[in-house]
Amino acid sequence: MSTPHSVYDFTIATSTGDEKSLQDYRGKVLLIVNTASKCGFTPQYEGLQELHNKYHERGLVVIALPCNQFGNQEPGSNAEVQEFCQINYGLSFPVMGKIDVNGAGRHPLYSYLTEQAGGLITDSIKWNFTKFLVDRDGQVVDRFSSTQKPASIAAHIEKLL
């Protein structure tokens, strides 16, 4: 792959295994989050849904990318993840297929995200529910740790909408 210029240069797998181009979200503000169903931060799904409800019509798209790299906290199949998200949180934003965010199998999107918005001490993803905010041009604007609740980043989202 040539050097990426924005998140629009990437595709990700949907929960059914189809490829989804992030190009499809051109002109939207994106909040990309690595998620897990059995994590202490899993209740953040509720806050992510609230952000979706509040800002979707203005152009926000929350994209959940389930990941099983932290404490085996997303062990189920893609279908089980979808079922969990629907039954427990009624999510109406995209929950994609499982992904690796660190290591040799790291998805290229996460290589790009961490290059654009590094972390404290190391750029690697430290835990589930790390959030990346992307502007309407596909540029990474900010990175938020797992401990930052979705509501705490609403003002950052509003600046981009």
Is 85 considered catalytic here?
no
CB distance 43 to 49 below 8 Å: no
- Of the candidates 5, 11, 3, which has an alpha carbon nearest to the alpha carbon of residue 109? 11
User: What residues have CB less than 8 Å from 77, skipping those under 6 apart?
Assistant: none
- Eight-class DSSP state of 44: H
For 49, 59, 76, 102, the CA distances from 73, given in Å and listed in that order, are: 20, 30, 9, 15
Please identify which of the residues 22, 39, 60, 64 carries the catalytic annotation: 39
CB distance 127 to 41 below 8 Å: yes
- Eight-class DSSP state of 43: T
Residues annotated as part of the active site: 39
